[in-house]
Structure formats: structure tokens, C-alpha cells
Structure 1
Amino acid sequence: MTCDQHLMLYARLAGFRLVVLANRFGCESNFSECLHDRLLEGLDAAIDRIQMIIELERRLFDDNDEFTAYQLASEIEIFGCFTIDLLDEIDFDYDTYEYRFNDGEWIMALTADDSGVDIDYPSLVALTEDELGSLGSIIDDIVRETGIPVHANRIVDAQDIRQPQER
């Protein structure tokens, strides 16, 4: 991306931040307010990253420093992996059969007893349009206009997914 493209992305993110902030006033539940707050935090983090990239581009233009060029390349690479998680996130370690929720403590997914070994990982399920409410269309616009993925998922136990008829 060029400096102009980063500046346009900054303007889009700031605009979406205002839209989400205005939309938050119409929230009817604490859950909806929480989703709006998490999206605002994510947009603020993206804006901070873009501001850093723009500052590094300015410094590189002024000084043409090799270290600044390296920093800029690193920041752009990090921003390329940027996502906004509104609710839950799961990290898996398939080598140790562990997982964790939202950067919490690691939990063992491997269980063994006299009947054998079972590996039971939970899954993420996307929130429905009803759960997202008016935020759903805003999220779609953010993803389409900025390219930043926004995940609105909730954790569901793996057993609940495999055997829904037994719940």
C-alpha cells in the first residue's frame, strides 16, 4: 500500500468508528453494548497501527533510513494479520492437545480412561444476524471497505456440535 492508501484506510476506519459509536446509543441490551465496545476497541487498535505506519512512512521519506524501512515493513506485515475478535477466540496447540479461550489458561483436550483416548476440542460458531442486530451490516461494511476481518463467534463445546439431537 502507498502512503495515500494508508491515509484513506485511516479515514475509513475513523469513519467506521464514528458509525459504531453512534449505533451504540441504540443498544437495547448489555450484550449488544459489549459487542459495540469490543468493535470500538478493535477499530481503535487498527487506527493506532495505521498511524504508526503513516509515521514510519513519513520518517522513511525524510531520512531514508534502513532501520526505519525495516520497521515499516514489519508494521505492514503485522497489520496484514490484524483481525478484530468481538466475542471469543480459541488458540489450539495440536502438538500438546491443548487449547485456551481468550488468552486464558491452557486446557487439556485429551482424556483417557478404560474405554480409550478421546480428543475433544471446542469450536467457534458465528453469531446469528439476530444476535448481531444492526451491527451485522456495519461489520460487513468494515470487512468489505477495509479488508480487516471481524470475527463475531461464540465458543460451543465440541460435544454439543457433534450430537445436537441429544441436548
Structure 2
Amino acid sequence: MMTFNARALVPTIAGFRDEVLASRTACTAAFAAALHDTLAAKLDRAVAALHEEAETEMRLAAGKGTEDGDFLYEIYHTCTTFEHLWMESGPISILDEIYEDVVAEGETCRVGLDYTVIPTEQLGEIGGILDRIRRETGIEFIAARV
């Protein structure tokens, strides 16, 4: 098992963002441009989340060498907040929101909606970018309609 490394992932995701913006310049349809804009914004949020994750990791790493510090560091790397929100919680749509947060008695539960995925081969160049992001980062972006 590899240990999650937020710092190593930042340049990869930032590189994909640059690729998305370069691809956007060739878009002739508003729909395609909007997909690119949405994906670029989500990648921006992912990079910001990775910077926060790196700060958390540094804080916990400072406590290593102690019984509690080693334990907390190990637990943290079992599934970081970034991994949970961006990798483990299911796909992230660049079209319609495919999850809804439902609050009952003060508890929030994420509920998946029924959706249809547009196959990546029908998305043109951005479909290939989505596939590479998934393979290289573990983040699964999809184009889905509710």
C-alpha cells in the first residue's frame, strides 16, 4: 500500500488543469466550454484541498516519534480527508450534481441520485482528459445527467 502524498499530487492535478484550459480554447460550443470551465474549477478546489491536506500531514508528522504521534499519523494515512472526499466517495460529475446532502435530526447523510453517465468517448477531448485524471490520480470525474 502506498502512502498518500498530497504534495506529490499537486503538480499532477495542476498540470491537468492547464491541459483543460488549453483544450477549452478549441471549444466552439458553449456546452463544451462550460464542461471545461467546470472541470477547471473542480481541479482548482482539489489543489486547494491538497494544500490543506499537506498542512495537516506536516502537523501530524511533527508528532512522530511518540506513541500517540505515531498512532495518529498512521490513522491519518489510513484514509485522509482528501482521499475520502475526492477519491473514495464516488465519482464527481462535471455536469449535474449526482449527490444531495440530506439533513435529519442534525445528522447529514449524502444520498446518491439516479443519473446517467455520458460515455467519455462521446465527450471529445475532455473525455480523454477525464480518463487520464482517473488513471493518474484516482479521482473519477464523470459527465452525468440526473
Q: TM-score, normalised by structure 1?
A: 0.61
Match of 1:42 in 2: 42
- Aligned pair count reads 124
Match of 2:76 in 1: 73
Which of 133, 142, 145 is matched with 1:151 structurally?
A: 142
Which of 116, 126, 130 is matched with 1:125 structurally?
A: 116
Q: CA, structure 1 residues 78+13, in 2 after alignment: closer, same or farther (shift >3 Å)? A: closer
Shift, 1:85, TM fit: 1.6
Give the conservation status (yes or no) of the 8 Å contact 1:39–1:84.
no
Shift, 1:77, TM fit: 3.5
Q: Which amino acid is 2:76 matched to?
A: A
**Is 1:87–2:91 an aligned residue pair?**
no
State the alpha-carbon separation in 1 of the partners of residues 143 and 50 from structure 2. 23
Give the conservation status (yes or no) of the 8 Å contact 1:42–1:84.
no
Give the conservation status (yes or no) of the 8 Å contact 1:143–1:149.
yes
Give the conservation status (yes or no) of the 8 Å contact 2:21–2:40.
yes
Identity of aligned residues (%): 37
Q: 1:1-167 residue pairs with structure 2 within 5 A?
A: 2=3, 5-62=5-62, 69=72, 73=76, 76-82=80-86, 83-91=91-99, 123-129=114-120, 131-155=122-146
- Indicate the larger mover: 134-143 or 7-16: 7-16
State the alpha-carbon separation in 1 of the partners of residues 100 and 17 from structure 2. 31
Q: Which amino acid is 1:73 matched to?
A: Y
Q: CA, structure 1 residues 125+73, in 2 after alignment: closer, same or farther (shift >3 Å)? A: same
Shift, 1:38, TM fit: 0.9
State the alpha-carbon separation in 1 of the partners of residues 47 and 120 from structure 2. 26
Q: Which amino acid is 2:16 matched to?
A: F
Q: TM-score, normalised by structure 2?
A: 0.69
Q: CA, structure 1 residues 37+52, in 2 after alignment: closer, same or farther (shift >3 Å)? A: same
Structure number, greater radius of gyration = 1
Map Cα deviations across residues 63-104 of structure 1 (whole Å, 9 max, x no partner): 5696xx58x9398135323243200124479xxxxxxxxxxx
What CA RMSD, in Å, does the superposition of the two structures yield over aligned residues? 3.0
After TM superposition, the runs of 4+ consecutive aligned structure 1 residues lying more than 4 A away are: 63-66
In structure 2, the residue corresponding to 1:81 is in which secondary structure?
A: helix
In structure 2, the residue corresponding to 1:52 is in which secondary structure?
A: helix
State the alpha-carbon separation in 2 of the partners of residues 6 and 56 from structure 1. 10
